Each structure stands twice: as structure tokens, then as C-alpha cells.
Structure 1
């Protein structure tokens, strides 16, 4: 009897130990399941839907990125094998027919041979849309993958794409933006199986740490300007750059160029910039007025020293601006002196990076000048130096903004995943010229368009302020026009640069004949 009791107690102890071990094993499978167990009972799939970790938005919240779209069909073999041909025959036949139209080698038999896992098929949008209409086929789901289009490598959206992969230099704009998005994750979407093992999408997987970049660019304005640049009448120019600045805030509302496969002209990317020519005379004129060495009525004599083909005779400083007399501005330069002129230029953002873009493969130009070698008569008329359009628009904008220099700005703020502002980029401004000096320069710019070299920039019903310029490079001309206008109650400053225009035996090449008409065309288009 005692032996039976002992045997019973031994068996009971054995089963208690087995039960305990199974309980522990079940607990660990529930809390920390193996990949194999997970695969057996997980009822959802997660797919990445873009190669961009952040959105790039315009000032109105519109997506600035251009994407190449991959239309993807996924077959999850395990639930697909559970399809009942009696229940889903019509859907399966339709699915098979649609897929074979796109992929001749498509076969259900091949899918059935896959023990487990997923098969991916990139298809046309037409095939994608047809498959999406098929219901109740088990183990099939679809999604669209957005791949950043970078063929226009120097467009705004391309320059600000993949910032997480850029080798940025410290204290630059790229480096700052990198720090903002460092915790971002790629966007994904979840697909869940219902009780019939049919997949359906449950929407985006939200990462609360994700941040998005909002630029100052206005996509609607940007598209209107691009439309002008692609006009057939400008096909003879290899490239054209345009920058539009909101006068008071310095916010860049558009930064375009006709051929965006070429390094960005507005920033002088991968180069040293462009000779500004006579648009620089506005700086010379403003500095001389501010220093009190001239008035608009101070007289000078054209000696055909720098004015090669046009004799202006005795001419006032204001009329020298209107008619763009090089000889008069050479003398104005001598009165102010090269040291003081360069001092003003640097206050206005010249000879330094404006947006602070500097990384391994993207370097905004600084510009160049040789004060000792050039001579003040050359510096005063924008020769023997290089600048960038963004530098010049910031400088000239100062006169249209009552003497206040506003550093051009392209990043507006950083938004969190709920579209709330987490970082705002403040306006950087300082007073350089008095209201009186600015008003005299502005008056001269208006007369340049009414009576001088900028007449082709006129727009019916609008007051246009402007200045023409022509720089040289070898045997080609850089044609400039920079000016201001009002649109919907706001003041804007816009710069046009058509670089490397070859000589034309029949027509005069310069800012007044090449760039000014484009300025007029864009203002007219924006005013519609």
C-alpha cells in the first residue's frame, strides 16, 4: 500500500513539473515569441511606402517633392493557399487574367510552390487599379511606393532631399536640418487580415518623432514661373534663372531655372558666381548718396573711357543710373573709394554665403573680388568681381525695403507629425541705408524702366522698379535684370539672370534686351 502511495505521489510530482515547464514555455512564447512562432500567428504585414523620411512642404503646406511611383502587388503565399476555389473562383480567374496581361510568366502554380513568404510584383498603374477592384481574394494586397525623382538634380526639392544622407559641414543649413530630422523613420503602412484572411489597409504607421521641413517657396508661383521659362520664345537660351523675394520679409517665394540638371545658378553652386555688371551700380549709387559724396544732381562728364559705343555728354548722377553711364560711375566710385564700397557690399551680404549651404557635393558660391588689381573704376560698375543672384537680390532688395537689409530665407519652420510648428526660422535684418537714400535709389530705379535701359521690363498698369546689367565671361554675356513690383498688396523683388548668352550679329545682347522682357513676362503671368 505504501509503495502505491509513493508511486502516485511520484507521478503527481512529475506531472506538476511538466505542467510548470509548459506554463513557463507558453509565457515566453506569448511575451517573447520566436520569429517562427510570430510568423505563424501574426495577422498583419508592414510595408515601406517611400524612400523619403520627411516631407518637404511649401509655405502653404503643399508637397514640393516630385516622385516616381512604383505600383506594387504583394502575394502572401500562406494565406493565398487558403483560397477556396468554390468561393473565390471568379476573383481568382480575374486576378490571374489581369496579372498574365502584365507578366506573361505569372503562374499560380509557382506561388503554391512557395512554402511561406511574400512575392512582390511591380506593375503598371492600369494593372494596379484593376487588381485593387478585386475583392475577397485571400493573401493579396497592394500599395504605392514613392521614390524621389532626382533627375533635375538642382531643383529646390532635389537640393533638400535625402538630407539624412548628406555629409554636411557643421554650422551650415544642411547640418541644422539634419539635426532636426535625425530621429525620423521612413513612412510605412500596415495591412491586416480579417477573419477570412483577406488583407485590407489600416493606414499609415505614425512615428510621433517624425518632423517635416516647411520652405518659404510658394508652389503656385513657382509653377507659373516655370511655365514662362519653358515658353518657346526663350528656347534660344540654354538656361535662365529666376529668384522672387518677398521684399519686407526676405522670404524666397520662388527659385527657378530653366535647366535644373545644371548646378543651381541662383546660388552659384559648384562655381564662383557671375560678373554682375551694371546692376552693381545701384550699390555704388546708394553708398555714394549715403556717404554724402554726391546728390542725384551731381554732374559728371562722359569721356568714352568706359562707355565704348554711347556718348552721354554732361550727365547727372541720376541720369547716369538711368542711362547706365560707365564713365560717370567710375568717377562716383573714385569719390567713395574702394574700401568704403566693399564695406557696404559686405553689409549687404556680398562675398559670403547667404543660405549657408555647404556640404560635400553642394557648395553655395561665396563670390570673388580683387580690390587691389581691379581698380575702383571697375568695381564701381560691377566688373572684375563675381557674385551670385541670391547675393544681389538681397542687396538690391534693401533699397526697395526702405534701407533695411533682410537676409534671404528659404526655410520657414519645422513641423512635427501633427503639423504643429516646433522650430521657426526668424528673419535676420539690419538697417544699412537711410529712408532718404533708399527713396532716391528707388526713384532712380523707376526711371530706369520708364526712360532708360530697362524699358522692356514695363508691365501695363504696374509700377516697375529696376536695373539692367551685363557681365562678361570669355566671349559670352551674362544678362541681368533686377527689379521690384507689387502683387496682391505685397511688394516683391525679382532677379533674372540669363548666363552665357553668345553674341548675336543682328541684335544687341544685354540685360535690357534679354533679361528685362523675361521679367515683364513673369510679372504679367503672376498678375493674371
Structure 2
């Protein structure tokens, strides 16, 4: 049987198979090319900063990863010039790389030149010699915290094996000026830099900035693996702070305060100058003070505390105008309302309330109560006002709560005694509070309350940071903020006139400023101790001027002075500071 066999053509099959393999190869090459291109794009574009920083060296890498701490500045009167309060500067460690010191002769030569340069004594010279003799030691620190100017001179000696490392250091050019305002840069438990007290503490996060990071894969030898994933996030520097503090005022007012503190042998002293129209703080002094560059050398850490915000105290008679303002504003008294003083009053306390030095003043007006600082008269005013209104006004002025000043650490004071008795009748606590006993306040709260009187009845938020400058150059300027209106403008003006009389005709006569009408009130308050009040006192004077257009409100406080009454200490200091301000602000005399 015959079978006819006809083979199928194979050329077409082979051609199709070759085309398929070619297409696969092209596809694979294309994918590989795209992957390489994407990786190159990542390396050259997306991770450009990583390799730039890596190639630039350790110092640039440090600056890329570690943020620069923000700096702090104050200003001059015309605000055209700024002065640094807290800045960063490089200090250096001088070390020896003994691998570069080849023989004993070189060791002796280097030692002699270092000894002459740093003025070594024999003991120090012997120690450095022992360090230089450690053969093949690449790092022997010889001198620490050396300034750049010194390093430049040392470089000129060109000593073999002597090298330098720089590190940033917080520096305070004004030393003790505004020390409690600024605070300082200390260390936390882990040895990391952290702001303490004042601005450095309150603004820690903003000043510190945000650290960057560098992450990727390395070989066993420590080299970066080029194709492994990695990223670099650059550091964000901290903000710069520009303050409302006037450098000239701060220097002169604090100088006067310290001089007077020593004169009156007071343990502590505080002073604030505030602009009543804006709430901007122009001066804030706390004494004793300390050198910020040597903060660890203080005799007591109490020196770190800012007396103007940290230490609430019973204010005494400077609280009387606050209560009087409420009574005037409610219309329950006028400046000419009369009162007969017998020298004592029963106010439902364990003992009767008396005036200072047990005096009795007879028939008096409300102005006379302030001029003569009559305690019994203020109990009369409190009863006219009533307990509920008394509480309302004390709260309205902001007592018992923090002002929100941008400093660490602020205390709130306490007005809890006003609420101990649930009765609606005026009790012993309200009566004693009417002349500033039984409640506590900080100097900042008190000066801000007097600023209400000087500002036509408007309460402003006090602030000390005038401007924040961000790393990108953006500026955030603080705008004055009115919290509320407490007093009618007419009543604030009436009270101002009454306080002028306190200085012109009363116990505040030493606060007079020749050529000007100024208003104010003294306060002498016994300091509470175990079982009652002690013989120790706090002296306060708060005043403002010129009365027709107030430019400043000043509080002066002395803690435990040698003299008996504030009229002889704080009032006199107010006068001295006020006279300087009138000249400094170029305010023309008005009387």
C-alpha cells in the first residue's frame, strides 16, 4: 500500500518563534532601562540632598542634621537697632593627634609652645606632657571651650599633631542683663540641651527647631550601598525672638533698683515698666540677678526665679485703688463721699481691724481714704460695693489666673479666700482683701491692673515678645490685644485724679516727679508666717504718668527691707526711675 507523505513548511514557524524571543528580550531590556532610569532619577534628583550632604564632609553633614537654635534680641528706643541677648557661637576643643608627633624632640617642642601660649603652670605642663607621650593616640583633648580668636592665633604656630574641633555654644552677650527674662540653656537627664526658665524654657520647642535625619543601608565595612533605599530630611532651625524690652530702660531701671535694694538692705526686689495702651512690657527686673554665662555658679537657685511673675504675695495697700475703682464704677461712692473713721471696725473677724499705727482720721472722703491709706475706710467701701460685685471685679482684673505672659514659670496667685464663706454678706475675708490682705498676686498682675486705670478702663493682655522670625524669613508680629473694658473712662479718670492726690498730699510724697503730674499708691504688707503675720514686710509702689496721657506704669517691690514703710523705699525708687523715663522719652513738663 502506498502512502503519499507531504512535509509541512517550517520556515514560518521558526520565524514566528524568533520574533517572539526578540520581543521578550526587547521588553526585558526596556524594563531594565526604565528601572535604571528611575533609580538614577531617585539618586540624582530625589536623593540629591543626601549625597550632597554626604559628599560635603562631616561639618556640613552636622549642620544638615542638627538645627541651629533660635536667637533672642531686644531693641532700642527708636526700634532701629537690635541687641543680642542669646546667640550661638562656636567654641573649640584643642586636641593632639599623637600619630603626627614622630619623636620626643617634637613632643618637647610642642609642649613648650603650648605652655607659653596657654600660660601653663608646672602642674598643668606635666599633665599635658603625659598626654602628648601617648604614642599613636589619635585624640587627646588638651583645652576645651576655647574661643575662635584664640584658635586663629594658635593656628599661626603650625604645631604638628595639634588639631581643633568646633561645637556650638549658647552665649549671652549681656551677661546678667535681663537674666530672669531670658533663662538659660541647660541639660536634661539625658545630657541633651534644653531651655530652663524665662524665654529659653517657655519657647524651648520653637527655639530648638526640629532635627533632621539620615537613614540608609551600609556594607559591613561601613560604606553606603548605592542602590539601597535611603533618605535625608534636613533640619529645621529654630525661630528668632525679638522682645518688647527696651535695652536702655532695662539697664538703667535695673541699675537703680539694685542700688536701692542694697541701700534698704532688702532681700529681694522687682520692677516692671509696662505700656498701658498696648500691654507691651518695656522693662522687667528681678534682683538678685546672675550671670547667664555662669548660671551654675549661683549661691542659690532662687536667683533663677523671676520675682515679677513667679512670686505671688499679699500686696497690701496697693490693692486699695483696685477696690475703689469698682465702687466708683458701680456708682456706690464718688470721690467726695464721706466716711467717719474711728480708727477701728468690727468686720466679723476674730479681732477688730485697725489702721496702720492705730491712727484714727475722723471725717474723710473717698479721696482721703486713699491719700491716708485708711484700712477701715476700705472696709466701708467694700460694704458699699457688696460681696458679689467685689468678687466680680477682682476676677475681671485677672487676679487668681495667669496672665499668659510668654515666660517660664508664671504663678497665678490665689483669691480662694474670697469664696470660703458661702454667705452673700461681706465677711472678714472680703474686708481684709479690701486693703490687700488674705489674697495674693504677682507683680505683673498688679501692674497690669493699674494699667487699666491708666488706659481709660481697658484691660490689655501683657506681652514681651514683639516679633517672631521664622527660618524662612516669615515674620509674625504681636498685635496689642484688648481683653475687656472694666471701667468707664470717666471713672478711670476720676480715680487717676485721686491717685495724684496720694502723691501730692499723702504718704506717697517721695514719689513726686518734679514738673509732672503722676499718680500712684504705696503698699506695706506684713508677711504671713506660721500662726499669723510676722514683723517682716513687703514694700510696693505702683504708679503711672504723665496722668493726662500715660506713657508708662511702673511697679517697684522690695522684699523684707530694713525700713518700715514703702513710702520711704519703693516710692523714692519710683521717682528716680520715672524721672529717667521722662527724659528718655522726651516728655515735656506739664506743671
**Alignment partner of 1:376 is 2:430:** yes
Give the distance between the partners of 1:302 and 1:290, measured in 2 at CA: 23
Matching residue within 156, 160, 171 for 2:181 = 156
The structural deviation recorded for 1:70 is 9.2
2:97 aligned to which of 77, 86, 91: 77
Partner of 2:461: 407
* Offset at residue 80 of structure 1 (A): 5.7
What TM-score, normalized by structure 2, do the two folds share?
0.65
For residues 96 and 477 of structure 1, the distance between their equivalents in structure 2, rounded to whole angstroms, comes to 56
Aligned to 2:554: 494
Determine if contact 1:57/1:213 at 8 Å carries over to the other structure: yes
- Residues 126 and 59 of structure 1, relative CA distance in 2, 3 Å threshold: closer
Could you tell me which of 470, 478, 487 is aligned with 2:524? 470
Distance of 1:457 and 1:253 partners within structure 2: 20
Is 1:297 the counterpart of 2:336? The answer is: yes
Q: Which residue of 2 aligns with 1:15?
A: none
Q: 1:368 to 1:144 in 2, by over 3 A?
A: same
Specify the alignment match of 1:110 in structure 2.
132
Distance 1:114 1:438, change over 3 A: farther
User: d(CA) in 1 for partners of 2:185 and 2:386?
Assistant: 41
**1:53/1:184 contact within 8 Å kept:** no
Is residue 54 from structure 1 mapped to residue 70 from structure 2 by the alignment?
A: yes
* Offset, 1:459: 2.0
Q: Deviations over 1:404-425 (max 9, x none)?
A: 1112212323212366414646
Cα separation, 2, equivalents of 1:422 and 1:495: 29
Stretch deviating more after TM superposition (378-387 or 105-114): 105-114
d(CA) in 1 for partners of 2:479, 2:413: 22
Contact 1:91 1:134 in 2 (8 A): no
Secondary structure of the structure 2 residue equivalent to 1:255: strand
Paired residues of 2:330 and 2:385 also in contact (CA < 8 A): yes
Cα distance in 1, alignment partners of residues 153 and 99 from structure 2: 17
Structure 1 SS opposite 2:468: strand
Cα shift readout 1:93-129 (whole Å, capped 9, x = no counterpart): 7556424636414349827834545745127779937
Tell me the CA shift for residue 282 of structure 1. Answer: 0.8
Paired residues for 1:23-38 under 5 Å: none
Give, in whole Å, the separation in 2 of the partners of 1:184 and 1:480. Answer: 44
Which of these residues, 160, 169, 180, is aligned with residue 146 of structure 1?
A: 169
Look up the match of 1:277: 316
Against the structure 1 CA distance between its residues 173 and 217, is the aligned structure 2 distance closer, same or farther, given a 3 Å change threshold?
closer
Residues 94/134 of structure 1: CA separation in 2 closer, same or farther (3 Å cut):
farther
Q: Does 1:436 align with 2:452?
A: no
Q: How many residue pairs end up in the alignment?
A: 457
- Distance in 2 of aligned mates of 1:127 and 1:178: 30
Spell out, residue by residue over 1:234-263, the C-alpha distance to the aligned partner (whole angstroms, 9 max, x if none): 251111111111111111111112214443
- In the alignment, the residues of structure 1 paired with residue 151 and residue 199 of structure 2 have an alpha-carbon distance, to the nearest angstrom, of 41
- Looking at structure 1, the residues matched to 256 and 68 of structure 2 have their Cα atoms a distance apart, in angstroms, of 30
SS at match of 1:101: coil
Deviation at 1:326, TM superposition (A): 2.0
Structure 2 CA distance for aligned equivalents of residues 51 and 258 of structure 1: 34
In structure 2, the CA distance between the partners of 1:111 and 1:66, relative to structure 1 (3 Å rule), is farther
Q: Which residue of 2 aligns with 1:230?
A: 258
Structure 1 residue 184: Cα displacement: 4.2
1:217 aligns with 2:240: no
In terms of Rg, which structure is larger? Answer: 2
